[in-house]
Chain A
Amino acid sequence: MNEETVKLLIGPITQAFALLGAGICMGLGSIGPGIGEGFAAGKACEAVSRRPEEYSQIFRTMLVGQAVTESCAIYALVVALILSFH
């Protein structure tokens, strides 16, 4: 078989596995950040009810913590986008 035939045969299979990988990557990759960010939000609510006067500092810390947690989901998104346009 010459190179063209091999590419014709293998190409769709490679693309199919890349697409499956994209789906699994984004699906599993968003479980952790979702739970983690919600946990941060819940604990921030608790903290505000304990110390309402420290509200602005709690709010800022929650947002920074969630932004860092978000980076995991963004990694998954970037990899999934690369794979789905493979």
Chain B
Amino acid sequence: MGLANAAALLGAGLAMGLGALGSGFGIGYAAGGALRALARQPIKQPLIFRTMLVGQAITETPAIFALVVAFLLYFASAETLDAPWSLAQSAAFLGAGLCIGVGAIGSGIGSGLVAHDALDAMSGNPSSQGPVLMFMLIGQAWVQTGCIFALVISLFLLASGNSAGLSGPEDFRLWSLIPLAGPETVATARHLAAGLAMGFGAIGSSLGIAYAGGMACRSLAAMPGSDARIKTVYFVGSATAQSPSVFSLIISLILVLNA
């Protein structure tokens, strides 16, 4: 057992535990929207049921990304059983888990919000189901960008952890946990900081884009005639709301590529 091994296992647990949080909430919220829609329009049951399932399937993706990274971290932990006690390598594994785990929270909740609002809007005005369904799919796909950024940074960190490291003491010594000087300290900080920046950076934009998507679906159902104007406002507004997560991606890439 080494430090990197333990960090990879901890990272796998954090990735899946935090990653399932948002999707779990979102899928349940989509189901709640479907129930409300059914109570209003029982005759539209097949359409509502189908839309709910499609929305829930897309809401599932952040959890699946987290599952993939958790598996990769689990395999990485098996390969680092006898690795030296490298702090930088351990930080890379821990950062990868934190990045996708925290990054999946916003996208999971956000996708569920969009599906809920779309189902609600559809049941309010059944004649607008086609455009609302399209807006729902666009909105949910857009909400996923945050956790896709987090997945990219997680994979960079995993690659960095699998290649770097291998410097450090062979077995446990107390001072190996507090390296006072050297590039190892800097690389450790870079890995952790990259994971934190992209993980937390994905939350806000995903939630904001999700709110915009849900309101766009509701507005479309309320005023089907002005869908071109709503589309323009929605697309431009969501693109602007995306920019904070792009800033986070830039900072994370600077941090992880210089490690």
Q: Tell me which of B192, B236, B241 has the highest count of chain A C-beta atoms within 10 A of its own C-beta.
A: B241
User: B219's closest neighbor in chain A, by CB?
Assistant: A49
Q: A66-B237, A81-B251 are contacts. A37–B208 as well, Cβ < 8 Å?
A: yes
A37-B237 in contact (CB<8A): yes
Query: A31–B200 contact, CB under 8 A?
Result: yes
B186 contacts A22, CB within 8 Å?
A: no
Question: Given the complex, which residues of A lie within 8 Å of B167, measured CB to CB?
Answer: none
Give B198's nearest chain A residue, CB to CB: A27
| Number of residues from B at the complex interface, CB < 8 A | 60
Task: Name B204-247 residues within 8 Å CB distance of A.
Answer: 204-216, 218-220, 222-223, 225-226, 229-230, 232-234, 236-238, 240-241, 243-245, 247
Please classify the interface of chain B as helix (H, G, I), strand (E, B), loop, or mixed, using the class held by over half of its residues: helix
B33 part of interface (Cβ distance < 8 Å) = no
Interface residue total, chain A, C-beta cutoff 8 A: 55
Mark each residue of chain B from 245 to 259: 1 if its CB lies under 8 Å from any CB of chain A, else 0: 101101110110000
Chain A residue with minimal CB distance to B215?
Answer: A42
B189 within 8 Å of A (CB atoms) = yes
Which residues does chain B contribute within 8 Å of A70, judged by CB atoms? 240, 243-244
- Which residues of chain B have C-beta atoms less than 8 A from A24's C-beta? 193, 196-197, 200
Question: In the assembly, what is the distance between CA of A22 and CA of B238, in Å?
Answer: 26
Q: Could you tell me the distance in whole angstroms from the C-beta of A36 to the nearest C-beta in chain B?
A: 7
Question: Known contacts A30-B244, A42-B211: does B252 contact A12 (CB below 8 Å)?
Answer: no
B251 lies within 8 A of A80 (CB): yes
Q: Which of A23, A67, A77, A81 has the most CB of B within 10 A?
A: A23
- CB<8 Å pairs between A and B, sample of 21: A8-B181, A9-B180, A12-B183, A12-B186, A15-B189, A19-B186, A27-B196, A27-B200, A30-B245, A31-B200, A34-B241, A37-B241, A38-B241, A41-B208, A41-B237, A41-B238, A44-B233, A49-B226, A55-B226, A66-B240, A77-B247
- Give the A-binding residues of B (Cβ under 8 A): 180-183, 185-186, 188-190, 192-201, 203-216, 218-220, 222-223, 225-226, 229-230, 232-234, 236-238, 240-241, 243-245, 247-248, 250-252, 254-255
